[in-house]
Structure 1
Amino acid sequence: MACLPARAVPVPVPAPIQTVIVPYVRDPVDKSYRKMLAGLARFERDHALAPAASLRFRLLPRLPTTDMAGVALRIAGERVSVPLALDADHSFVLPHNEQAVREDAAVVANRRGDSLTWRAAIHSPGLAPGTRRLGDLRLECRVGIDAGLVSNSSPIFGWLSDALSSADQVCNSADGNYLFFTDRPVFGVTVRHGARSEVLPFSMLYAGGRLAASDLRFCDCQVLLERSYYAPIFDPGWPDDSIVEFDYMDDAPGATP
């Protein structure tokens, strides 16, 4: 009796493995890369305010518990991830990356979003320690607003209102309330140009001196309150070359070193 050949058993072909790309989910306080590039563009347009200065961005602590040691920063998109080098003062230069622009990437730190605040850092060379140049501060404000750096969320900050919605309005208005920070707790601030000098009033120190404890958590100055001040960047009577001088608390007579 003839043997019939065994019937071939079909071998199942495995389905191709699907590659799933999980996009980066942005924290509300992480910064838009596109907006930060808009800040770079503003710096180039208004560079005449600080012609000898370059632009860096800087991370600052927002909460008392923020540990700035080991902070890392990157540009993060759906596929792109670009590490950013931080200097000792936690400042950095933002590079241009076309892929990050296309992916609407974010600039992300390895910390809780609400534990940090951000500012532009524009410093003309040759200034004495404990001083700033007013034109640098004017440009910092314009860059900071266009870049979307400030994350205050209380109505007490008037520039959040619809009436002050652009960098030109915020930085050119006495109600703009753009906060600057010193490196150490500040006792007093004086503006000088030539023979003219003016000590800034208390209302221009410590976030205006009017923040209740319940409001402090809405301000990105909350751990930097003693280092915060407003500058007369809105006053055309002070030229860009005016110098802002700081008297620090630890330099005051009787201060403990």
Structure 2
Amino acid sequence: MRALKAIVIGGLLLSGAAPAAPVKELDPVHVNAMRNPEVKKYKAILAGLDTFDKYHGLAPAVGKLQFRLSARGKDEMPEPLAVRLAGDDGFRLPLALDAGNRFEVPRNAAALAAKSELELNRKRRAYRIEPDIRTPGLAANQRRLGDLRLECKVMIAIGKEEMPLWGVALVNGVLLRTDWCSFFGDETSTAYGGVAKEATFGSRAEAPLAQAVLIDGNRSALLEVSGSSFNVPIGNSTWSDDAIVELHFAGPPTGTAGETPRTAP
């Protein structure tokens, strides 16, 4: 199963509660002198925006697609984290980051014409750039399954745009489908002796986890966790988009983390 999951994750070039503070305009991003800055093609980001619009019904209460920056390790650079679109002929468009390192990427004809890239003022692979889709009104420790499904679709759309056509065709052939997200937990799949029935998609929380429980009405299931990651069967259609993942963080008791989760009838 790990090998199959690696095929999909390896194909993606994007790798994932407190209220957000007001955004502010950033100073110019200084990346020209930095070796191998983190970049993403604007054309690929647009594919993610298109996919968000196409499958917006998975998370209808979410108004706009946001992205989130998460550090892969300790960030020791003194300069404030910053992000921009940069392209040919000196095109520059600084983007605004909120207090949670979330930002929006606008549709911009000039950015597309300039063959722009999304740049961070950090070295390559210092940060992850991930879609961040969260239905308003949920508690800080709750994630909605439809939101996670849409995050996957956006992530894979961006990854496919940055992959060569032969790479996309290869993964399509291995998974026997073009909708890669549906592979993770597909209860009808018989590929590879039913491995897909067990495959789940990894998502990240903001802190290390003690437990994660998927709840849909009177049905629930304990999810696998590892550090701050939790695995969700987003491709299993028997779980509704309104199902909720309750995250219990490692640390002081919250009053609910020690409770025994309900089991499916």
Taking structure 2 as the reference length, what is the TM-score of the superposition?
A: 0.67
Cα gap change, 1:65/1:87 in structure 2, threshold over 3 Å: closer, same or farther?
Answer: closer
Asked whether 1:30 is paired with 2:50, we answer: no
Task: Supply the distance in 2 between the matched residues of 1:66 and 1:164 (Cα, whole angstroms).
Answer: 40
Which of 138, 151, 169 is matched with 2:180 structurally?
169
User: Is residue 187–residue 252 contact of structure 1 (8 Å, CA) maintained in 2?
Assistant: no
- Equivalent position SS for 2:51: helix
1:122 aligned partner: 133
Cα gap change, 1:96/1:166 in structure 2, threshold over 3 Å: closer, same or farther?
Answer: farther
2:240 aligned partner: 239
User: Is residue 191–residue 244 contact of structure 1 (8 Å, CA) maintained in 2?
Assistant: yes
User: Is residue 34–residue 122 contact of structure 2 (8 Å, CA) maintained in 1?
Assistant: no
Which of 222, 240, 254 is matched with 1:199 structurally?
222
User: Is residue 181–residue 234 contact of structure 2 (8 Å, CA) maintained in 1?
Assistant: no
- 1:67-82 matches, within 5 Å, as 70-79=80-89, 80-82=91-93
- Structure 2: give runs of 5+ residues left out of the alignment: 1-31, 163-169, 186-195, 258-265
Cα gap change, 1:146/1:128 in structure 2, threshold over 3 Å: closer, same or farther?
Answer: same
Which of 81, 102, 111 is matched with 2:113 structurally?
102
- Structure 1: give runs of 5+ residues left out of the alignment: 1-22, 152-158, 207-225
Q: One-letter code of the match for 1:85?
A: A
RMSD: 3.2
Asked whether 1:60 is paired with 2:88, we answer: no
- Equivalent position SS for 1:114: coil
Q: One-letter code of the match for 2:233?
A: P
Cα gap change, 1:25/1:39 in structure 2, threshold over 3 Å: closer, same or farther?
Answer: farther
Which of 187, 208, 214 is matched with 1:185 structurally?
208
User: Is residue 62–residue 115 contact of structure 1 (8 Å, CA) maintained in 2?
Assistant: yes
Task: Supply the distance in 1 between the matched residues of 2:111 and 2:178 (Cα, whole angstroms).
Answer: 24
Which of 43, 55, 76 is matched with 2:52 structurally?
43
Task: State the number of aligned residues.
Answer: 202
2:250 aligned partner: 249
- Equivalent position SS for 1:184: coil
User: Is residue 145–residue 166 contact of structure 1 (8 Å, CA) maintained in 2?
Assistant: no
2:152 aligned partner: 141
- 1:218-233 matches, within 5 Å, as 226-233=227-234
User: 1:162: Cα distance to partner?
Assistant: 6.1
User: Is residue 134–residue 233 contact of structure 1 (8 Å, CA) maintained in 2?
Assistant: yes
Taking structure 1 as the reference length, what is the TM-score of the superposition?
A: 0.69
Cα gap change, 1:130/1:183 in structure 2, threshold over 3 Å: closer, same or farther?
Answer: same
